[in-house]
Amino acid sequence: MRKYIGVALIIIAIIIIVGVWYINSPYSSTTRTFSSYTLLDSAFQKYKAQFINSDGRVIDYSQGSITTSEGQSYALLRAVWTNDSTTFATVWNWTKNDLQHKNGDHLFEWRWGKRSDGSYGALSGGGNNSATDADEDIAFALILAGHRWNNKIYLDQAAQIIPDIWKYETTQANGKRYVTAGNWANSGNEVVMNPSYFAPYEYRIFAKIDTKDDWNSLIAPGYSMLDAVGSAAFNTGSGVGLPPDWFTMQKDNGTIKVASIPNADSNYSFDAMRVPFRVALDYFWNNNNAAKQYLLTDYIFLLKQYQLNKQLVSGYTHDGKPLDNNQNPDMYATSIGYFMIADTQVAQDIYNNKIIKLYSNDNNSFNSDLGYYEQNWLWFGAAMYNKALPYY
């Protein structure tokens, strides 16, 4: 008996010593090895507690506690990719009941919150308008959910949304079909476009559901558009290949220029940085050579910047000048797919030092001081790097 007690005490002592070493080591605050639980599942659990109300509304505290259709779409995608059917149903019910248009179409109000009179609903200044990226992602999330959980209702609801995206959020320009920025963006001879709304992997699936509309006709013109705007001469001169946040196209001849709407410019920043994520998904899921060639050709600027400076800043002018000296986790997370294609060593370095270091094993979450937008894109980027975005 004494012999066994002695062995037990030795084991306990070893456990204590190892525990003390771990607590005081860098491994206690930084995830070194990916697992679907510690990164994807647990981070989403913490995200839900921080940003999603019990009724399914996602709140962006950085903008006065508003809700956007984009935020709802991200929650739906994360829920289906983590197999969280309960959260998906809750978020979708709120989105359907509170954001979806009640008359005319099945699109969604993009900006919702507390109004000046104390009531809640679509906010003034165009909050009742739609944002194409959110509408696309909501419909796509419903398709994924319908297949993952064998739920025909979700597939039927997606089938209602998709034709209205085509009708109100795509248009003909210079003899080709393009996705626009929303139901408000198509006026006269000029159409407002946001390159980060181009989601070719979704159009390939929409074509299987909405057979009346030629969704595949959006893909080739979309890639040509990305290539053209990356090198176009906007207000700063010829570009370095990166797409602008916004631009306009003349429908009669395809001429592109800086968008003439408030807070829109030709910088590569908050909006445009999402382009490589969407294009990389099209390559990873569909082995699309056009996606690969676009990234390898037009995004070499980012690779050279990282090789030179070991960092990327939060945004660049169209001709490649840094907008500031600040690093933004979104820039790394949204571009990780490009680096996976262009240089696997750089991709690994970015994942280890720019993405995963913002995740703590102690809290099983990305740093809580990061906003909802940053946490979503860190999650998407980490999931892409670890090939954890199943294409149902």
What average pLDDT does this structure show over 317-336? Answer: 96
Please state which of the ranges 147-156, 203-212, 254-263, 372-381 shows the lowest mean pLDDT: 254-263
Cβ atoms of 177 and 171 within 8 Å: the answer is yes
Indicate the average pLDDT of the chain: 91
Among residues 117, 112, 110, 154, the alpha carbon closest in space to that of 133 is found at 110
336 torsion bin: left (phi>0), alpha (psi -120 to 50), beta (else)? alpha
Q: Is the pLDDT of residue 238 over 90?
A: no
Contact 316, 269 (CB under 8 A): yes
Position 34 confidence tier, pLDDT thresholds 50, 70, 90:
very low
Question: Is 295 within 8 Å of 279 (Cβ atoms)?
Answer: yes
Residue 347: per-residue pLDDT = 98
Please state the rounded mean pLDDT for residues 143-171: 98
28: pLDDT strictly greater than 50: no
Residue 342 above 60 pLDDT? yes
pTM of the model as a whole: 0.91
Asked if pLDDT for residue 369 goes beyond 60, the answer is: yes
Report the alpha-carbon distance of residue 45 to residue 24 in Å, rounded: 26
Q: What is the DSSP string of 264-316?
A: --S-BSTTGGGHHHHHHHHHHHH--HHHHHHHHHHTHHHHHHHHHHS---S-B
pLDDT exceeds cutoff 80 at 133: yes
Q: Which residues contact 350 (CB under 8 A, 6 or more apart)?
A: 306, 332, 335, 336, 339
Reported residue count of the chain is 392
pLDDT of residue 286: 97
Residue 164 makes CB contacts below 8 A (sequence gap 6+) with 105, 106, 107, 135
Calculate mean pLDDT across residues 101-121.
96
Q: Rounded to 5 degrees, what are φ and ψ at 130?
A: -100, 155
The dihedral built from the CA positions of residue 106, 111, 113 and 117, taken in this order, carries a sign that is: negative
Which is it for the CA torsion 218, 169, 115, 262, positive or negative?
positive
Three-state DSSP class for 121?
strand
Q: What value does the mean pLDDT take over residues 366-381?
A: 93
The pLDDT, as a whole number, for residue 361 is 76
**pLDDT of 364:** 79
* Cβ pair 336, 381 in contact under 8 A: yes
